[in-house]
Amino acid sequence: MNGQYASLLVALPLISAFFVPLIKGLGGRAIKYYLTLITALQAGVAAWVFKTVYTTGKPIIVMAGGWRPPVGIDLYIGHFAALFVLIVALVSFFMAIFSFDSVSTEPTDKYAMLFLLLMLGATGMIATGDIFNLFVFMEITSITAYALTAYNKTGEAAEAAMKYIVLGGIGSSFFLIGIALIYGSTGTLNMAQLAQLAGSINPTVIKVGLSLLVFGLAVEAELFPLNAWAPDAYQAAPHPVTAMFSAFVVKAGLYALARLVYLFSHAAGWDFILKLLVIMATLTVFAAEFSALRQRDVKRMIAYSSISQVGLIALALSVGSQLGVQAGVFHMINHAVVKTLLFLTVGYVGVKVGGTGIENFSGLGRKMPLTAFALTVGALAAVGIPLFNIFWSKVWIIIASIEQGYAWEAGVVLAASVVEAVYYLRLIHTMWFGGWDGIRIRESLPLGTIALFLVLLILAIGVYPNPFWTLAKSAGTDIFNVSRYIANVPLMGVGP
Amino acid sequence: MVSVLKRSLAIITLLIIGYWLAQGLAGVPFGQDRMLVGKYYLENVKAQTGAVNAVTAIVVNYRGFDTLGEVTVLFIASTGVGALLWRRKKKRTAKTEGSVVLRTGSELLFPFILMFGTYIFIHGHLTPGGGFPGGATIATAFLILYMAFVDYEIPHRLFEPLEGLAGMGYVLVGLIGLAIGSYFLFDWIWQTWHWGAANLGRLFSGGFIPVIYTLIGLKVGTELSGIVDSMLTEEVRE
């Protein structure tokens, strides 16, 4: 099949979201089945794209309208994008199934539309090869995220969404000014051509422009000091949406950040941006871990843990070596798997027991054994214990940062892991040794299957990391190797 | 005391950021020939897209993918407002009727405002404007009706499906392009069928631009009216 059909990754969720108003009369359950069907189809398309890219070893360049870049907009579906588009679609599919149990607030039809568009936005951010198109998809992602954060229509949800809107709005405007500065001094918006021209831009302009882009994306990528919205939003959003935030929305922001930073690696003042990012990332890990320690609500605690892991990924991406980027991508994959599992199980407990406070987890090992088991595996993996997947990516991140002379930062990461162990072990202890009220809750079969699948995936990566590490290596090289990126985009010769 | 300190700290930070931004702006070569892609558009726009309005051609044809995204952003805004202000039963609760001038004027002007909005989006490839301002003009017609009459409501059964259909139509035009020209959002009307090649500068030209702008106009019009409706109706309890 023609590679241009990869544009279905964008077209399918879009046309399906527009179709929802026509079937809203069928009722909430039918719409949820529809949502599951569409996300399954999307996963199918993504799997085909993944297979094509990894068997041919060549990226798929989708040219919208048939115009060659930089005249038109291209989607660059390379090794990274192919992998993460698949992750986005799979997580969305799982969360569509989870929505049956966990989302009862009306109006379901609007929920389904926003759900599909959140998936679309993240897919587009990961796939696009045009910096302004990246902005458009970032807007799609963040505006759906605002609406979904407030979806439960409680006071906390409204407050969280308000915080998110204010910070997100500032971030978007920073990003837009950054694009304007860079466009003003190069005359193009195509990422590959920008990378070609990076060396010729005035050093002050590129420094200011790139910092504006970094700060703009840091809101979506949840980097300190622009991540104040995240814990509130994670806690207030419906459970499947929280999992999606953690599994791929933040990843899309991180990827865009890394992609843009490495595209400009020939620009003057690039080291300055990297140093800035390393500092932001280290502070993110540090601040989030210590906040997590104080939480009494498990969902919020895991939200903080997710932010700290995101800081770790950002650190790996910004140490500036190929190994660092590869380790960061490996951690992105592992983090997506583990946090989907954690938010799925915690959300399920929230639905069945009636809240996500730590007291609700007391005696969970006997109340909901399967969920408690999955949650335990997820928690142990998140801490980074050997034989679980995150251990390997953490090791690689530490090696990569020490190799680049960031020993001090690596120390912070290790210390943070100890803090992380404290609160996750506390949770595990409460679940298995806390008092039990004698009630046994029937667990749902589909959700149990998903949870077990994720548990097996965690153990598989933990025991046999090599195939996944190879995958992460090729995806990481896709970000790091800018000259190959430029060579892969069929730029047409427009020039002065 | 603390607030003064806080405020002066904020002002100093703002000054530093402002100075820094100004430094960046000063380095951008304004007014020089930096038109890498811009020049290409200007030289090829008529032959490649059939539109005499270069801005429209860029927005809908060359960078049509962005426009599809912008349409989606507006759709999200309307869906989000609809989701957050959703109530089981909603009714208008306005108390004061508009004045005689407003009521008479709105009834008289309503068809003309609709016509003007339609004119704007149909002629998007010829004159300034296009689907977004045209749709916004149409929405103002409904807004005026809301202001003039206390019990007016838009025909929900028509508008919501129409909004969805218009959006699907846009994606379908793109998918037909994928089927015919093997590129998503490929302008099959102009580049494959060569329709309107003799009509350059007149209404029936511009390839799929008028089609897409009509869809966008309908979508934006129904969407903005829907937002107005969500905000002006309130919950009623049985």
Reported as a pLDDT band with limits 50, 70 and 90, residue B188 is confident
**Is the pLDDT reported for residue B41 higher than 90?**
no
Q: Is residue A318 part of a domain?
A: yes
Cβ under 8 Å to B: A residues 180-239 = 181, 184-189, 193, 202, 204-205, 207-209
Give this prediction's pTM.
0.94
> With an 8 Å Cβ cutoff, are A188 and B184 in contact?
no
Structure tokens at B141: 């017609």
ipTM of the complex: 0.91
> With an 8 Å Cβ cutoff, are A65 and B187 in contact?
yes
Note whether B59 and B185 are within 8 A (CB).
no
CA distance A66 to chain B (A): 5
> With an 8 Å Cβ cutoff, are A185 and B41 in contact?
no
CA distance A333 to chain B (A): 27
Structure tokens at A398: 């530490």
Q: Is residue B210 part of a domain?
A: yes
- Residue A430 CA to residue A459 CA, distance in Å, equals 23
Note whether B184 and A11 are within 8 A (CB).
yes
Q: Is residue A408 part of a domain?
A: yes
Q: Is residue A392 part of a domain?
A: yes
Residue A372, C-beta contacts closer than 8 angstroms, at least 6 positions apart: A364, A365, A431, A432
> Residue A463: which domain range?
269-489
Mean pLDDT, residues A352-372 taken together: 85
* B50 and A CB contact within 8 Å: no
Q: Is residue B32 part of a domain?
A: no
> pLDDT digit string (tens) for B140-153?
999 999 888 888 88
Q: Is residue A356 part of a domain?
A: yes
Note whether A191 and B34 are within 8 A (CB).
no
Strand A74-77 relative to strand B233-235: parallel, antiparallel, unpaired? unpaired
- Residue B224 CA to residue B134 CA, distance in Å, equals 11
Distances (CA, A) of A32 to A100, A103, A144, A384, A487: 7, 10, 18, 35, 43
Distances (CA, A) of A142 to A216, A314, B176: 12, 19, 30
Helix (H) or strand (E) holding B130: none
State residue A331's pLDDT score: 92
Instruction: Report the 10 Å Cβ neighbour count for A408.
Output: 10
Q: Is residue B218 part of a domain?
A: yes
Q: How many domains does chain B have?
A: 1
* Best B68, B79, B180, B227 residue to mutate vs chain A (most A CBs within 10 Å): B79
Q: Is residue A412 part of a domain?
A: yes
CA distance A168 to chain B (A): 15
CA distance A114 to chain B (A): 7
Q: Is residue B8 part of a domain?
A: no
Note whether A94 and A344 are within 8 A (CB).
yes
- Residue A156 CA to residue A232 CA, distance in Å, equals 8
Instruction: Report the 10 Å Cβ neighbour count for A425.
Output: 13
> Residue B194: which domain range?
37-235
Distances (CA, A) of A149 to A471, A495, B18, B84: 33, 45, 32, 10
Q: How many domains does chain A have?
A: 1
Note whether A249 and A145 are within 8 A (CB).
yes
**Is the pLDDT reported for residue A43 higher than 90?**
yes
Residue that has been written with the tokens 């990566």 in this structure: A461
> pLDDT digit string (tens) for A57-115?
888 998 888 888 888 899 999 999 999 999 999 999 999 999 888 888 878 888 999 99
Chain A residues touching B183 at Cβ < 8 A: 4, 7, 63-66
Q: Provide long-range contacts, Cβ within 8 A and 24+ apart, for A176-179.
A: A176/A135, A176/A216, A177/A212, A177/B21, A178/A208, A178/A209, A178/A210, A178/A211, A178/A212, A178/A213, A178/A216, A179/A131, A179/A132, A179/A135, A179/A213
**Is the pLDDT reported for residue A336 higher than 80?**
yes
> pLDDT digit string (tens) for A293-332?
888 888 999 999 999 999 999 999 988 888 999 999 999 9
